[in-house]
């Protein structure tokens, strides 16, 4: 039972006493069908428990009603990095509403990336969402050449040509800097992400702008680069303390790195926030669970997810349409670490 031959559009047509085409028209909501024919078809569909075969449909329509969401797993582990989970959630919300399937692709290394482009070339998806792209990432270019609609979460540079949604990283960094200054701090360090990513550069620039506004002279010893991991944040903090032992605040470009920094601060006997104030970025649960709870720049990650999904669906529906760039606001959430 259960596994017997499933009905096709022909079976339905026979049962309803009409032709294949009429059934197809009913399924696809064409108006050029008489009421009685439509009723007969709908009855037959219900009786036979018929569901159209989406693969056969895809062969002729050249549409799969599914999009890929590509997440680079190498650099920031899904799970320890709540950012990705939130993006997935936002994307999924929009896709489910439009009955589009979500193909999740975790890319760990180069080999897997090549597989990905194959899979995309196999026309298994109508479009691609890319998260966390580096400036020199070849993937967006490849996809563009394949003529496949592509939308980014984040951007490769401020002049990004592909459609994308990102948060106001410059503004967020500036807000973090201003906040620390307003708390009376003057030796304010920063831990940035990889500098080949626009997120990192923008947040760094925001921090610089805030310091500039307050006429605090730039000091290279107060800048350390890490890789968005806790371990990296720890090491960066250590290096900062060596080069600038008198620092009294640090702005990290992610909560995870800020958590690593706080670990190192405690290890070296510096109190947070009394000796060193800390501000993170993301406002994930890590900020809430941290001890002391962490001040952090909130970015609307789930909304980024839903936005890129919406942009992609638009681009699939109308490939000729103009590319769109969306920037979402950030917001400082003040807690005990600053």
Partner DNA sequence: ACCTCGCTTGGGAACGTTCCCATTCTCTGC
Partner DNA sequence: GCAGAGAATGGGAACGTTCCCAAGCGAGGT
18/262 with CB nearer DNA: 18
Which tokens sit at 230?
């806790």
Cα 31 versus chain centre, distance:
40
- Under the binding rule (CB under 8 A), the answer on residue 225 touching a second copy is no
According to CB under 8 A, which residues from 276 to 315 bind a second copy? Answer: 285-286, 289-291
How are beta strands 331-333 and 295-298 bridged, if at all? antiparallel
Residue 33 CA neighbour count, 13 Å, CB half: 22
CA dihedral (97, 100, 105, 110) positive or negative: negative
**Which candidate, 313, 281, 310, 311, places its Cα nearest to that of 297?**
281
DSSP-derived secondary structure letter, 33 = S
28/74 with CB nearer DNA: 28
- Count of positions on this chain that bind DNA (CB under 7 A): 29
| 62 φ, ψ (degrees, to nearest 5) | 60, 30
The Cα–Cα gap between 247 and 243 comes to 9
- Under the binding rule (CB under 8 A), the answer on residue 146 touching a second copy is yes
According to CB under 7 A, which residues from 235 to 294 bind DNA? Answer: none
- Under the binding rule (CB under 7 A), the answer on residue 47 touching DNA is no
The Cα–Cα gap between 249 and 279 comes to 8
- Under the binding rule (CB under 7 A), the answer on residue 9 touching DNA is yes
């923008």: which residue's tokens?
202
- Count of positions on this chain that bind a second copy (CB under 8 A): 54
- Kindly tell me which residue out of 77, 186, 267, 323 binds a second copy, with binding defined by CB under 8 A: 77
- Under the binding rule (CB under 7 A), the answer on residue 225 touching DNA is no
- Under the binding rule (CB under 8 A), the answer on residue 106 touching a second copy is yes
- Under the binding rule (CB under 7 A), the answer on residue 57 touching DNA is yes
* Minimum distance, C-beta of residue 64 to a second copy, in the bound complex (Å): 7
- The residues binding DNA (CB under 7 A) are 6, 8-10, 17-25, 27-28, 31-34, 36-37, 50, 52-53, 56-57, 59-61
């Amino acid at each position: 039972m259960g596994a017997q031959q499933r009905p096709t559009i022909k079976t339905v047509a026979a049962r309803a006493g009409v032709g294949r085409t009429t059934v197809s028209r009913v399924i696809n909501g064409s108006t050029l069908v008489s009421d009685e024919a439509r009723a007969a078809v709908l009855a037959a569909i219900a009786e036979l428990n018929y569901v159209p075969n989406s693969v056969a449909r895809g062969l002729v329509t050249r549409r799969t009603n599914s999009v890929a969401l590509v997440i680079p797993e190498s650099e920031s582990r899904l799970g320890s990095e709540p950012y990705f989970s939130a993006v997935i959630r936002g994307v999924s919300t929009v896709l489910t509403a439009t009955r589009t399937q979500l193909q999740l692709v975790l890319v760990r290394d180069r080999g897997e990336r090549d597989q990905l482009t194959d899979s995309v070339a196999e026309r298994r998806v109508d479009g691609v969402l890319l998260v966390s792209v580096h400036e020199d990432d070849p993937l967006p270019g490849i996809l563009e050449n394949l003529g496949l609609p592509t939308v980014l979460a984040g951007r490769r540079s401020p002049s990004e040509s592909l459609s994308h949604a990102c948060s106001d990283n410059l503004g967020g960094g500036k807000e973090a800097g201003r906040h620390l200054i307003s708390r009376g701090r003057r030796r304010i360090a920063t831990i940035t992400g990889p500098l080949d990513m626009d997120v990192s550069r923008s947040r760094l620039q925001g921090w610089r702008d805030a310091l500039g506004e307050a006429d605090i002279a730039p000091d290279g010893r107060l800048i350390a680069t890490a890789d968005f991991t806790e371990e990296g944040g720890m090491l960066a903090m250590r290096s900062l303390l060596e080069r600038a032992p008198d620092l009294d605040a640090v702005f990290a470009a992610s909560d995870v790195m800020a958590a690593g920094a706080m670990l190192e601060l405690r290890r070296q006997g510096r109190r947070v926030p009394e000796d060193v104030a800390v501000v993170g970025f993301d406002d994930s649960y890590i900020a809430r669970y941290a001890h002391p709870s962490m001040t952090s720049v909130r970015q609307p990650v789930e909304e980024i997810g839903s936005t890129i999904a919406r942009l992609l669906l638009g681009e699939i529906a109308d490939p000729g349409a103009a590319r769109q760039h969306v920037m979402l606001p950030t917001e400082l959430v003040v807690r005990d670490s600053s």
